[in-house]
A and B are shown apart, each in its own frame.
Chain A
Amino acid sequence: MNPIREIWQSIVRRDPLSTDKGKSELVFLNVWLHIHPAKVKRENLKFRHSFYLGFITFFLFLILITTGIALMCYYRPYPPQAYQDMKDLQFVVFMGPFLRAMHRWAAHGMVVCVFLHMCRVFYTGSYKKPRQFNWVIGVLLLLLTLGLSFTGYLLPWDQLAYWAITVGTNIGSYAPLVGGQLRELLLGGHSVGEAALLRFYVLHVAVLPSLLILLTIVHFWRVRKDGGLSRPVWKLKAEKDAQLVTIGAPTETAPLQASAASSNKTYGLMEVVTGKPIFETVTPEEEEDTVFSYPYAFVREAVTLMATVTTIMLISLFFSAPLEELANPARTPNPAKAPWYFLGLQELVSHSALLGGVVAPGLMVLALIAIPYLDRNPSRRPGERKWILWLFTFFVVANLALIVVGTFFRGPGWALVPPWVHVVGGTE
C-alpha cells in the first residue's frame, strides 16, 4: 500500500465522501464536526428561516478572539502605558490600525447580531417547549456580550473610555444594598484608576471570554439536543403531539416504525430505554426531506464565515477605530456619552439613576429570561400569538428609540438637540 495513503488513512478514517457512509462518518468521527447532525432538514437550511444570525455571531466571536490575542501582544494594562500602546498600535505596529479596527467593528457587529438573533428566535417562537432553557442561555450570552463590550471599552484609556466607565460603574452603585460594594470590587478602588484598568483587563481577556465560551458550548449542545433548529413556521404541522415517537415501547398513538434493513445500510443502536423523548423528533415523512450535512450545511457555514470575515475586513479598511485624547479625570467631555449600545441606558439614567439604571434594565433582563416560562401559548404560528408579538416589537422599538435619542438627539449638558442643529463650542 502507498505509504502516503496509509498515513492519510490513519488520520482520516472515514470512507470516501462520495458514499453516504463517508458523508456520515465525516460528521460523527470528527470531534469538531460532530456537534452537527449527519443529516439536516432541508427546510432548516433556508436563509430566510434563520438568516444564519447565530453562525454570524459565532464567527464574529472567532474574529474577536483572533484579533484580541494579536492586540494583547502590544498592550499593557497600566494607565499611562495603555494609551501609549494604543498610539503605538495606531502609528507604529504593522497592521495595528487594521487589527484594532477589526476588533472594534466585530465587537459592534456581535452586539447587533446577538440582538437580531434574539429577535429571530422570538418572532419564530423558537423559544417554546422544548427550547425554553436554551433561550435563557441565550439571554446570558447577550449579557456576557455586553459585558465584554463594556470591559473592552475602558482599555484604550482615552477620554471616551474613562468617562463611559465612570458613568457605567456609577450606574451599578445604585443597586440596592450591594451597589457600592459591587462598584468597589469591580474597580478595585473608589474611582476609575489603575486598579480598575487591571481588573477590567482581567475580566475582558480571561473571565468573560471563558464564561462566554462555556455557555456557547452549552448553547450549541442544547440546539442539537432539543432537536436541531426549530422548524420554519411555514412547515408547521397541524397536530404536533402525534409526532412524538416512543423509543422502545410502541404505543397506539405512535407505533414504532422500522425502515426496511438492507445490506448496504449501517445501523448503530446505543441503548434501548422506555419513555417519551423530550426533544423535537423527526417524522418519517420529514426524514425524506433531510439532506446530508456534508456538503449542504457545511458549504453554507463556510460561505457565511467567509462573508462575515470579508465584511469586517472591508469595513476595517475604510473606517478605523476611534481613539480620543488621553483620559483626563479633571475634564469631563460635554456631552459625555457611553458606547452607542449603552446610550439607551444612559438616556434612561438621565431621567432617574435608580429607576432607569437599575430597576428598568433589571426588570427587562428578568422579563427576557422569563419569556419562555410565562408564554404558555404552545402555538408558533404568528397569527395565533399576535399580542405577544406586538409586545416584543414594542420592546425592540422602545430600545432602539432610546438609543437613537441618546445618540443623535442629545447635545451638551444632555440637552435635547436635534442632529441638524450645530452647537458652537459644545465640547467644553
Chain B
Amino acid sequence: MDRRQFFKFSWGAVGVTALVSAVGVSLAAVIRFLTPSVFYEPPQSFKIGNPGDFPFGPPTFMVEEKIFVFRERDKGFAVASAVCTHLGCTVAHFSSDQKFHCPCHGSVFGADGAVQHGPAPRALDWFEVTQARDGQLRVDKDKVVAPNYRLMV
C-alpha cells in the first residue's frame, strides 16, 4: 500500500465510521425517545384496604388491580395475579373446582396457580402482601413470592 492508497483508505474508513456512528446514535436516540420516561399508569405497589374488608372463603377479585385476594382462616392473606401468563387475558376463579380459568386460550391453573392445562408457559404470579403502618394491606406487584406465602394479621 503506497501513501496515496493509505490516505484514500484512511479517509474512507473515517467516513464510514462517522456515518455508522451517526446512524447508530440516531437510532439509539429514537428508541430512547420512544421509551417513556414517565409511565402514567397505576403504581405497582398499592393499598387494597383493611384486613376486615375481605371475607373468608372465595377470593375477592379486584377489577382495576387485576388481582385475587385470598383470606383463609388460621392461614392469613395471599394475593394472586389475575393476568394469564400466556397472553395477558384476565383469568376467572371458579369456586366449583377452586381453579383459575383463562377465557382466551383455555389455560387452567390449579388452586396454587400451577398450570394444569392449556398453553400457559408458567404458573400465575403470587404477589407480596404486607400490612402498612395504618393497618391497611399493601400489595407489591414487583415482588413475586412463592405460592405458599401468607400474611397473618
Contact = CB atoms under 8 A, between A and B. Distances in A.
A and B: interacting chains: yes
Given A189-B41, A330-B63, A166 B105 contact: no
A282 interface: no
Nearest to A168: B87
Interface size range on B against A: 20 to 34
A30 to B, nearest CB: 38
Contacts of A393: none
A413 B87 contact: no
A171 interface: yes
A243 interface: no
Contact of A354 (B104, B118, B121): B121
A104 B41 CA distance: 31
Contact of A191 (B41, B86, B102): B41
A330 B64 contact: yes
Contacts of A167: 87-89, 104
B6 interface: no
A330 B103 contact: no
Interface in A385-428: 412-415
B119 A336 contact: no
B106 A332 contact: no
A163 to B, nearest CB: 7
A228 to B, nearest CB: 36
A353 B88 contact: no
Contact of B89 (A166, A188, A195): A166
A188 B119 contact: no
Contacts of B106: 350, 413-415
Interface string A322-341: 00000001111111100000
Interface in B64-90: 64, 66, 86-90
B101 A188 contact: no
Interface stretch (B11-19, B28-36, B45-53, B124-132): B28-36
Contacts, number: 79
A334 B103 contact: yes
Contact of A349 (B36, B40, B41, B105): B105
Interface in A151-177: 163, 166-167, 170-171
- Chain A interface, >50% SS class: helix
A265 interface: no
A119 interface: no
Interface size range on A against B: 20 to 34
B41 A190 contact: yes
Contacts of A414: 103-106, 118
Nearest to A354: B121
A353 B119 CA distance: 7
A185 B35 contact: yes
A198 to B, nearest CB: 11
| From A191, A351, A354, residue with most partner B Cβ within 10 Å | A191
A193 interface: yes
A335 B101 CA distance: 12
Interface of A: 163, 166-167, 170-171, 184-185, 188-191, 193-195, 329-336, 346, 349-354, 356, 412-415
The 10 lowest CB-CB distance pairs between A and B, nearest first, are A334-B103, A330-B63, A170-B87, A414-B106, A350-B105, A170-B88, A413-B106, A332-B89, A332-B90, A167-B87
17 contacts: A166-B87, A170-B86, A171-B87, A184-B35, A194-B40, A195-B39, A330-B63, A330-B66, A331-B90, A332-B103, A332-B104, A335-B103, A336-B89, A350-B105, A350-B118, A413-B101, A415-B106
